[in-house]
Structure 1
């Protein structure tokens, strides 16, 4: 029996690594589907992330191949960029006051929560700022990995915030009578085959360009920019097929969860108080801004609460669609905060975080 050439052996993963990859993907898929069945918005990400993280803390070696990671980041970037429609851009300009307050609220929650993590829990500044950044969980995770921050600690804080919001917010809104519990199912437009090719081509091209420029998280941000330009200009209508969107959401949850591979249960418990306290600070600051908007504008309290909630953009948009909350208002604000966080966070980390050498895997 002939042996595999050395160059091929260096490229192909070993049997052990292949089994680890398959086990990781299987656990992430099962976890995401289980959470989806329960009806939790953003369940694919949260379920995959928690399932893989739990398996990792249980002692299983969770890992995702580098090329699969890049593919997931490109798909996620296309998915996020597809939110950039003409209608959404027009509505962004229609909410100058509330979007301005959202930017201020984002600034306050980030610095308030990070100050809490630094002062009461002794976190370094880079990890504290990234953990305190509201929303944009996947982008923050990628940036944290590249900056060499404390990824397990950040993941605990970010995960707790997403899970608490996606699980508790619907219950609070329905219990308070602020929205209906019935669940509408909106149709989602899929781009034409030619449009999908254009999206993939633009996403990969911009990603490679940013990678050549050593831009942080180039695969994610490049795909998002390429998709956003095509959608914002009206050249392409629709986005990824539902099955591909679901794969991307499960994939990013699996990727984030796999970062717990070296984390023990004690690590999670050690950062649990930090996560709960950080969430409490962010929730308190957000509540102040939501109350101001509810008192001074005609915006419904439920709309303002979901629009300002410091959770993942996809989860909050899913909440808006399933709880009879204005999806355009929520989408415009979460898109604005996503852009703000994407632009501001690297600068904040550079100015206020500890010096780190950027690494582009």
Structure 2
């Protein structure tokens, strides 16, 4: 029997890693299905996230393989793109105003939360700014390492914000009657087999192009663009089968929940108050801007709430797919904020963070 080439052996996951991945996916699936059958808001994504996050906090090592993560993001993007052509012109006139206010809201929440972390918990300015910046977590992590910031503390604040928003938003929206927890009826049409092949092919192709351009969230937005163009041109009618769409939602929830695996319980407890306090500040400031936009435009309050929520872009878009929220409006705003944070945060840290020489002290 021929031996496996060394390069292939290195690329293949170990037995331990494979079992870890299977356990993570199984826990996420069970959690998502429990939420779905009991009719809890957020269903698959929230159930999977809470189940995997709980297992991680109990000491289980939770992880999702990179290739599966990319596949899940592509499936989510295809599902969102299949909705866009049906809602393409809704609220377009409000975009410049609401995106401008979002930039201001992001600036205010970042400075408000960072000021709280500095004054109430004694954080240094660099760590406080990076922890308070909503979204763009990968860029935040790179900046934290470069500037010698407190990465474990930043991770706690960032992760808590994503987990709380993903779990709480569906409950708030459904409890207040702003939206329904049932799946939107317009997503139930399934494309033909040839159409599905075209959807997947176009979505992956656009994603790869965006990835080569270093476009933010390339797998998600590439698939969304490819899918929306095909639907908008009338070349394809319908989207992914409900089962595949459900797998994507469970995958996103599982991915978010697995973030707790990279966090020690002692670290979480040490920074729990800081995380909750800074989250509260961000929510109060965001709520003021949401109220302003809801009063001054014709955009639905639920759409504004999810678009302005300082949570992870993939999670908020997944919730838009699940809770009758306009995916174009939410996607445009979260992408705008992602770009704003990516561009502005390094300059803010350079101007207001601690001097570079302090890192070596």
- Normalised by the shorter chain, which TM-score bucket? 0.7 to 0.9
Equivalent position of 2:348 in the other structure: 352
Classify 1:167/1:144 alpha carbon distance in 2 versus 1 (closer, same or farther; 3 Å): farther
Q: CA RMSD in A?
A: 3.6
Any idea what the Cα deviations from partners look like across 1:244-288, whole Å, max 9, x if unmatched? 121112112222322322322223333332332233223322332
Equivalent position of 1:163 in the other structure: 167
Is the contact made by 1:81 and 1:226 (CA closer than 8 Å) also made in structure 2? yes
Classify 1:299/1:217 alpha carbon distance in 2 versus 1 (closer, same or farther; 3 Å): closer
User: Whole-Å Cα distance in 2 between the matches of residues 240 and 32 of structure 1?
Assistant: 19
User: What's the CA shift for 1:203?
Assistant: 2.1
User: What's the CA shift for 1:145?
Assistant: 6.2
Tell me the secondary structure at the aligned position of residue 91 of structure 1. coil
Residue correspondence of structure 1 range 20-39 to structure 2 within 5 A: 20-39=20-39
User: What's the CA shift for 1:226?
Assistant: 2.8
2:197 maps to 1:193: no
Q: TM-score, normalised to structure 1's length?
A: 0.76
Classify 1:22/1:284 alpha carbon distance in 2 versus 1 (closer, same or farther; 3 Å): same
User: Whole-Å Cα distance in 1 between the matches of residues 142 and 230 of structure 2?
Assistant: 28
User: What's the CA shift for 1:26?
Assistant: 0.6
* Greater displacement, 105-114 / 180-189: 180-189
Is the contact made by 1:44 and 1:253 (CA closer than 8 Å) also made in structure 2? yes
Query: Structure 2: which 5+ residue stretches go unaligned?
Result: 146-150, 354-361
User: Whole-Å Cα distance in 2 between the matches of residues 217 and 316 of structure 1?
Assistant: 17
Equivalent position of 2:336 in the other structure: 340
Classify 1:215/1:292 alpha carbon distance in 2 versus 1 (closer, same or farther; 3 Å): closer
Any idea what the Cα deviations from partners look like across 1:112-153, whole Å, max 9, x if unmatched? 3354445544277578557542xxx7xx45655676664454
User: Whole-Å Cα distance in 2 between the matches of residues 234 and 112 of structure 1?
Assistant: 46
Any idea what the Cα deviations from partners look like across 1:49-74, whole Å, max 9, x if unmatched? 22222222222222222222222222
User: Whole-Å Cα distance in 2 between the matches of residues 12 and 277 of structure 1?
Assistant: 43
Residue correspondence of structure 1 range 11-160 to structure 2 within 5 A: 11-85=11-85, 87-95=86-94, 97=97, 100-117=100-117, 120-121=120-121, 122=123, 125=126, 128-129=129-130, 132-133=133-134, 140-141=136-137, 150-160=154-164
Query: Structure 1: which 5+ residue stretches go unaligned?
Result: 322-326, 356-361
